[in-house]
A and B are shown apart, each in its own frame.
Chain A
Amino acid sequence: MDGPVVAALRRRVNEARAAASGDRSVAAERLALPLLALVAALLLALLFYYPVATVFVDAVVEDGRLTFGPLVAVLTDRFYVGRVLGFTAYQALLSTGLSVLLGLPGAWVLARFEFRGRRTLRSVTMVPFVLPSVLVAAGFYATFGANGSLNTVLSALGLPAVDLLPSLGAILVAHAFYNAPLVTRVVTAAWESVDAGAVETARSLGASRRRAFRDVVVPQLLPAVLTGAALTFVFTFASFAIPLALGGAQFATIEVFIYSARRQLEYGRAASLAVLETGVSLSLMALYLRYEREQSARRRGVRTLVRRPLVPDSWTRERLVRRAAVAGYAVVVALVFLAPLASMIYASVSVEGRLTLDAYRFLLERQTTGAAFQVKPFPAVVNSLVFAAATLAVALPLGVAMGVLTTRRFRGRWAVDALSMAPLAVSGIVVGLGLLRGLVFGVEAFGYRFTVTGAVAIVAAHAVAAYPFVVRTVAPPLDRLDRALVESARALGASRARTVLDAELPLVWPGVVAGAAFAVAISIGEFDSTVILAEGGGTYTMPVAVERFIGRRLGPATAMGTVLLAVTAAAFVVVERVGGEFRG
């Protein structure tokens, strides 16, 4: 057809225009996007794909020969394939069920009721996702541990104390803490995109209220529920810090076994387990992405279902029952989400019901008198902040670049999408292991040996963990931007790259700021790869410090956890504020 002709003409016109303006920078700007793509690809290859590949090599190569020995050893070991993989999948399945159960009523409340603070509550569902996993573990110890607030309450009521840790139940509830809000978010979004007209049409065609819900609303929510469940399964399948802290040896997942293999310097076994786990995770993710693509029909201009006031003008029996359900759910939410954090803070300032700062005093003493091998609080805070700043410097440009690229229309975009989102499906342990084996231990190339320090590797791991969140916050608003805006800018003489800087980024700036805040929070809270890379060195961070205390001393663990919570919250706020001011 006329495609090539038009393209050639357009190129000629562009060249003529560039020549007429006599401006070489125009040509350079036209190259900016491809260059950006290249740099982003190289960074990803270096920080993620190469290290992860070295892990896989460890699994199939022994003494420089391709034998598949370690992998075969693990795959034929009934203990690993049956017991470890089985338990990992089992706890992930239960966690998924519990998360859906806890998350669905939240979507109902957020999508169908109007009340003060609804929007805030909707945004708050994002918070558990960036809370450090060890923080949640510390909170669970403070709540459900032998000396936790639950037992305090029980003994005050004259009831016998319970010992809930370590237990499978604790792991499941902690996983629900993370993933139920995720379910709530995706299902709320789906519920809000149900056309009220469709429900009303069903009613006018003879369906009762309940029937219309079943026939029209439920089928439109199911894909979202499945999405939430699939993501929850992938995340909890690869969960590490929670089972490590709350499950102990009895309830160890595959990640915990990878970690202990690495501590015993059995890299072949660690790598083989990592291959096994990543294989399962990636297959699930691929299945999910395929399913999502089929569901991608987007609807615009629908009239959202009208939200009912939470406090109605008049009360009927049905309204009372519904409000009672909301209240009951609120109690459960408070128990699962607020109690651990509150208990943690309380435990850090109390001993047997008496308020004291002993725990913080202990941390200060440890700082001044601790032995060299012991974890000290001050370096942990400093390390965390330095790594967070460095992570931001890498993850933000990388994330924005990937966000810009994934919203362009070009052939093979799905591949960019998939490759850039793969880090979400590969666990921090595996990335950490790869960075350790690939970069920290060194690479031989061109007759030189390249090595990086543990600190650099930690930043790399954090950047890999953080940048998908930047992509996730930047890409959707970019995608929603009116194309006419971009076209207007181009018609007014801006090059494609200038248009990104002058029009698109300023318009999606809130997304960029949110992405930056997430990147910082993720970096500060990252535990999985940090603990692999910080082993024995001076590069431990706050989450690693918390984990060292958990299970040994509740006071210092919760005090360190409280410091971690405060620093994470402060960093989050600072980034949002500074970002807001920068935009002007």
Chain B
Amino acid sequence: MGSDPGADDARGGDAGAEPAGVRVEDLRVEYGATTALDGVDFRVEPGEFFTLVGPSGCGKTTTLRCLAGFEQPTGGTVEIGGESMAGVPPEARGVGVVFQSYALFPHMTVGENVAYGLRFADPPGGTTRDERVAELLALVDLPGFADRDPDTLSGGQQQRVALARALAPAPRLLLLDEPMSALDARLRERLRVQVREIQREVGLTTVYVTHDQEEALSVSDRVAVVNDGRIEQVGAPRELYDAPATRFVAGFLGDNNVLDGTVTGHGAAGGGSAAAGATLADLDVPGVRVGDTDAHVLPVPVEAGGSVRPGATLTVCVRPERIRVRRGDRGVGEGRAALPATVEHTEFLGDSTRLRCDWNGVAVTARTGGERSFAVGEGVTLGVDPDDVRVVEQE
């Protein structure tokens, strides 16, 4: 028994390594004429829970596979724990991987699955192999499952076994590739909390890939939004949510109203509550029929004396939950722009109601508390605080 001294034991006895940081620079992957990764850069701090989120085919899984060593980049560098991974085979990287398909070895019991990595590295902390398996199964809340067949387990249980298996040799980096996608929503929620708790407990650097923006926001220390082979924005979940840097990020993370318009002037609409050093520009949103007064103009906070001049084209966004909805033409409060609109569609969501409104020809989504109900066709006034309007792109 024990690990072979030869090539099989590439990782040596150095099990239980410290969590490693990750540095990815200008990572490129091309398959013939198609480009899967078009220069990806990011860093992951030791012990951090870092998430790559994006639509399917955006390159997030390819990035993960480059970290694991399953994919050979055509350009750029990958460093784990400060060492370049160029030419390092997967078995020598000290990385744990969990796949969406669980990928449990069907011909082994649960215990044998978890123990597999211990054939090549001694269990950390001087424990025996059996102790380590029991310890890991307890960690993922499956004590006593060692002798079961993977086939007899539910999807959630199989995924926890896969996690235990990846953690058993104490990797210095954990890679999770859409690990929850095959599970139902409620189980997913429970499991992601569990994964996060285990990750904190073990203090393990984790790179997590998901297409589910809610999942990304809820579990991560930091998130990278990937689109079309590139990273659009990296930041803490709240930062990405509150200050999306690109139109894609604004539209991808959470519910949002993304509007394009042309700056027509300064300070005509709404009050003067803009933060210090900022001023308000009037954004003329095309498609809004010009009626009386300033009902087709949205106030946008811009840097005082900055580059935004009349005639500039801006893309802005407003979160639906930041929009105040009032019946008829009732006041929406000091400092808010009042947009006259008609309710076109309502969705009762339990804790809130989502209203799709028509603001003189442009669709605007707003959310109100669940206790108030609006009728389809009802005239309302949408109150928008200029501070809640974010400029995401400027031409």
Interface size grouping (class) on chain A: 20 to 34
Q: Which of B91, B103, B116 contacts A195 (CB 8 A)?
A: B103
Q: Which of A204-220 contact B (CB under 8 A)?
A: 204-209, 211-212, 215-216, 219-220
Contacts of A358 in B (CB 8 A): none
CB of A200 within 8 A of CB of B105, answer no
Among the stretches B92-100, B199-207, B336-344, the one at the interface with A is B92-100
CB of A205 within 8 A of CB of B165, answer yes
CB of B106 within 8 A of CB of A206, answer no
Contacts of A215 in B (CB 8 A): 105, 116
CB of A206 within 8 A of CB of B11, answer yes
CB of B151 within 8 A of CB of A207, answer no
CB of A303 within 8 A of CB of B101, answer yes
CB of B8 within 8 A of CB of A198, answer no
Q: Does B16 contact A (CB under 8 A)?
A: no
CB distance from A370 to the nearest CB of B (A): 61
CB of A198 within 8 A of CB of B68, answer no
CB of A202 within 8 A of CB of B70, answer no
Q: Which of B1-41 contact A (CB under 8 A)?
A: 3, 7-11
CB of A208 within 8 A of CB of B8, answer yes
Known A205-B165, A206-B119, A207-B8: A198·B91 in contact at CB below 8 Å: no
A220 to B106, CA, bound (A): 8
Q: How many A-B residue pairs have CB under 8 A?
A: 89
CB of B169 within 8 A of CB of A205, answer yes
CB of B107 within 8 A of CB of A206, answer no
Contacts of B10 in A (CB 8 A): 206, 208
Contacts of B70 in A (CB 8 A): 200, 203
CB distance from A227 to the nearest CB of B (A): 15
CB of B101 within 8 A of CB of A203, answer no
CB of A206 within 8 A of CB of B91, answer yes
Interface size (B, Cβ < 8 Å)?
A: 39
CB of A200 within 8 A of CB of B97, answer yes
Q: Which of A200, A207, A211 contacts B103 (CB 8 A)?
A: A200
Q: Does A293 contact B (CB under 8 A)?
A: no
A198 to B104, CA, bound (A): 6
Main secondary structure of the interface of A (DSSP, over half): helix
Known A206-B91, A207-B91, A208-B89: A201·B120 in contact at CB below 8 Å: no
Known A200-B90, A204-B68, A219-B107: A211·B101 in contact at CB below 8 Å: no
Give the residue name and chain of the B residue nearest to A302 (CB): B101
Q: Does A297 contact B (CB under 8 A)?
A: yes
Q: Does A301 contact B (CB under 8 A)?
A: yes
CB of B101 within 8 A of CB of A301, answer yes
Q: Does B117 contact A (CB under 8 A)?
A: yes
Give the residue name and chain of the B residue nearest to A204 (CB): B97
Q: Does B121 contact A (CB under 8 A)?
A: yes
Contacts of A198 in B (CB 8 A): 103-106
Q: Does B59 contact A (CB under 8 A)?
A: no
CB of B101 within 8 A of CB of A195, answer yes
Which of A202, A205, A215, A216: most chain B CB closer than 10 A? A205
Q: Does A299 contact B (CB under 8 A)?
A: yes
Contacts of B237 in A (CB 8 A): none
CB of A204 within 8 A of CB of B91, answer yes
Q: Does A197 contact B (CB under 8 A)?
A: yes
Q: Which of B91, B106, B162 contacts A297 (CB 8 A)?
A: B106
Q: Which of B3, B89, B116, B121 contacts A202 (CB 8 A)?
A: B116
Contacts of A197 in B (CB 8 A): 99-103
Give the residue name and chain of the B residue nearest to A193 (CB): B106
Per-position binary interface string of chain A over residues 170-211, scored 1 when its CB falls under 8 Å from any chain B CB and 0 otherwise: 000000000000000000000000010110111111111101
Per-position binary interface string of chain A over residues 353-371, scored 1 when its CB falls under 8 Å from any chain B CB and 0 otherwise: 0000000000000000000
Q: Which of B8, B107, B116, B120 contacts A220 (CB 8 A)?
A: B107
Contacts of B3 in A (CB 8 A): 206
Contacts of A202 in B (CB 8 A): 105, 116
Which of A204, A207, A215, A219: most chain B CB closer than 10 A? A204
Contacts of A212 in B (CB 8 A): 91
Contacts of B162 in A (CB 8 A): 201
Contacts of A205 in B (CB 8 A): 91, 96, 116-117, 120, 165-166, 168-169
Q: Does B69 contact A (CB under 8 A)?
A: yes
A200 to B93, CA, bound (A): 12
A200 to B95, CA, bound (A): 11
CB distance from B327 to the nearest CB of A (A): 44
Known A215-B116, A297-B151: A204·B101 in contact at CB below 8 Å: no
A303 to B103, CA, bound (A): 9
A297 to B117, CA, bound (A): 25
Contacts of A297 in B (CB 8 A): 106, 151
Contacts of B104 in A (CB 8 A): 198
CB distance from B178 to the nearest CB of A (A): 11
Contacts of B96 in A (CB 8 A): 204-205
Contacts of A219 in B (CB 8 A): 105, 107
CB of B89 within 8 A of CB of A201, answer no
CB of B91 within 8 A of CB of A203, answer yes
Give the residue name and chain of the A residue nearest to B175 (CB): A204
Residues in chain A within 8 A of chain B (CB atoms): 195, 197-198, 200-209, 211-212, 215-216, 219-220, 297, 299, 301-303
What are 29 A-B contacts with C-beta separation under 8 Å?
Answer: A197-B102, A197-B103, A198-B104, A200-B70, A200-B99, A201-B97, A201-B99, A201-B105, A201-B166, A203-B70, A204-B69, A204-B91, A204-B96, A204-B97, A204-B166, A205-B96, A205-B120, A205-B165, A205-B169, A206-B8, A206-B91, A206-B120, A206-B121, A207-B116, A209-B89, A215-B105, A297-B106, A299-B106, A303-B101
Per CB-CB distance, the 10 closest pairs between chain A and chain B, nearest first, are A206-B120, A197-B103, A205-B117, A203-B90, A197-B99, A219-B107, A198-B103, A204-B97, A206-B91, A201-B103
Residues in chain B within 8 A of chain A (CB atoms): 3, 7-11, 68-70, 89-91, 93, 95-97, 99-107, 116-117, 119-121, 151, 162, 165-166, 168-169, 171, 175, 182
Apart from A205-B117, A206-B117, A220-B107, 20 more pairs, CB < 8 Å:
A197-B100, A197-B101, A198-B104, A200-B70, A200-B99, A201-B103, A201-B105, A201-B162, A203-B89, A204-B93, A204-B96, A206-B8, A206-B10, A206-B119, A207-B119, A208-B8, A208-B91, A219-B107, A297-B106, A302-B101
